[in-house]
Structure 1
Amino acid sequence: MRHIAIIGSGPAGYYTAEAAQKRWGNGVRIDVFDMLPVPYGLIRTGVAPDHQSIKGVSRRYEQVALTDNVRFAGNVKVGEHVSVSDLQAMYDAIVIATGAPHDRKLGLPGEDLANVHGSAAFVGWYNGHPQFAGLDPDLSGRHAVVIGMGNVALDVARILSKTESEFAGSDIVTHALDLLRASKLRKITILGRRGPHQIMMTPKELGELMHLDRASPRVDKADLPDEADDALLEPGLRKAVSHLRSFAAIPESIHGEKDVEIDIDFFASPVEFEGDGRVERVKVERTTVQAGRASGTGEYYHVPADLVVSCIGYHSAHIPEVPFDERAGRFPNDEGRILPGLYCVGWARRGPSGTIGTNRPDGYGVIERVAEDFDSGALGTGGKQGRAAFDQLAEARGLDVVTFRDWKKIEQAEEAAAREGAPREKFVDVEAMIRARG
């Protein structure tokens, strides 16, 4: 019998478990660990609450989790409750699938001013992540600046722009909805240091900006390249740029009918956050782009900012005893191999790139590496006890392990507590989650 431990229960973790099942059938036992009492990682606390169709992929992970040879072990912090060395003594292979839960810093002066937030924290706040539920951003000002040219920046701008009725059917948590309801924001500036042809935004997310009840997107026509140049782009990017051209063509009369303006400002690199104790404005340098790379022009201007959300990327969390590449923000690896018997997958392996679906081939790929190492004898001769050994350790240390059956009780309680039209009302602290399992 092969015993595999997976650290992290998000998309990368469950696709890896699925791959192991398909590879070895009943000849494998897989334990999926998570520091939270609830599974699904990014699906639960990273995907925008108004994108419920994307969250539906969790049903696939549930099918894997409910099989006899896969077990969810929540409320277990690897590196604190149990060490990697402990797991290595119990499991034949360990796969790190922790994602990239921390914000990448800009490293700019004034980044520590009040009301400057990273997107991991801000998105975690409106999604009810226990670590960020108490963020309490101040939305009483009129100007917000969102830094970044990817879908997360679009998510943040869209969430800040929506009316309460537009959140119908979403699972945004009540504490965030209450603050957004009272928001005084009237202008949201999205800053990107490169141009329209270098965006990482996808057509679907850009298109959503055209259908907001009280907000309209704006693009300066002068920032757009010659339309003939769009023909050289790959189809998805070409369609995204066509949305930008549509934004630039919106008449001023339409903008005047809307309460909120979303201004997408290209060739704009933030260089400093300014204010007296709290952010008041962002100093920006105008850039030029050559061969896809942005460089400063020495021309500066200021953008008013009562709130700043930086959406420039993420990095993985260091785990004691495991090598970590601080510069890259991920675990150093060779096709998923970190050390003998120790692997990584998903964002923990490649950094924060790709979509949720990208984790499926990544999960299957790392299991192929594990299979190669089993076949070559690199993982030893077997004899490890897997979950039986972990259960003994958990009992000896008094760990309160949350099972998938427990999670289903938590889920039922969240569904029962949902406001009208919402799929659930998430518990936003660990103690409440554990109490809800009964």
Structure 2
Amino acid sequence: MHDIRAIRENPAQFDAALARRGLSPLASEILALDEARRAAIHAAETAQADQNAASKLVGAAKANGDEAEFERLRALVAEKKSEVAAMQAEAGRLDAELRDKLLWVPNSPLDEVPQGADENDNVEVRRWGTPRAYDFAPKEHYQLSAVGKAMDFETAAKLSGARFVVLKSGVARVHRALAQFMLDLHVDTHGLTEAITPVLVRPETMLGTGQLPKFAEDSYETTNGWWMIPTAEVTLTNFISGEVWDEAALPARMCAHTNCFRSEAGSAGKDTAGMLRQHQFEKVEMVTICRPEDAIAEHEGMVKRAEAVLEALGLPYRRIVLCTGDMGFGAQKTYDLEVWLPGQNTYREISSVSTCGQFQARRMNGRYKPAAGGKPEFVATLNGSGLAVGRCLIAVLENGQEADGSVTLPAVLHRYLGGKTRLVDGVLV
């Protein structure tokens, strides 16, 4: 959420940031509402002061035996009390209206973020690895004979409907191995703190990271008001919600492996084949909570940690910096990592790593106490996939496919697979 004081001080800068995202100016509308809110608060405070002053005189009039003055003052106190209640209610209404309006406004992009309208204006930063040359036509993951019946969409459809999958036998174990490998790498090598978090959360938890109210239709709500998380960013970032941490606790770098749930609203007919876009999937998510001045360096470090997973698996990828028109709601800057999928003959997103500045912290009132003293300040938050497990499985299967129909698995996974090195007809060998 934006700082209303910053909008007051530089409304032109606020509108310019919105323009970079292709949005219309909002500063004048927000400031008019803010002015009305502050006027209502001042009026309520003035009426409260008048009520307090009159209340003090009531007792004196009673003690002096001045019954007429006593009755006049008592009526005045009652009148002011009613005025105060009405004015406080109006101030509260305007405050809620201003907060609601600000909750719908996206974060401001950093100056270095490239200007653009959509994904076609994203900028490639670097590539790693060379896509393998095949002497046969590579297939997509769900077409591979090596997978066999261990990737079962029919049973999943019977159980749950479209965009679900049942993984079995060797494919299920490779999927589990990938998640375990990612966690071990992030915890043992990168020094992240692992957490196991709920996947059902309160609405205010979703609001804190920006999934609500704007993206309600993209998520699932239970009948008793819980929301199913679309990513562990929601839970991990909210660790600091409503709290003030000591500066010595920062940066806090965390990771979690969870099931994730997305309704995929608005994506009908897109990526329906295979398990590229599912309603339920697994991710190993990374979150960092730090001082605002450290956020840029932390962003670079986080994307390198995600890249390290792909490099260890030997998967070619490219790093993209998203343009202003393709960047997420809460992000100041985002890098996407796209892994090479030979079956599609293209790169596809497997990780999105964003720095959000103090945007989420303001929504959830997450602050830290500077070691040098002074008032608590809002923290900065970052999040990134490290990685999407299902998409990583797809990449491992497609990049490791052989002419005989088997899949050769990355060496770093062998110890998680009981020493098995290949997948044949859904079975590890």
State the TM bucket, normalised to the shorter chain.
Answer: under 0.3
Q: Answer 1 or 2: higher relative contact order, Cα 8 Å, separation at least 6.
A: 1
Radius of gyration: which is bigger?
A: 2
TM-score (norm 1): 0.20
TM-score (norm 2): 0.20
> Which structure features the higher share of helix residues?
2
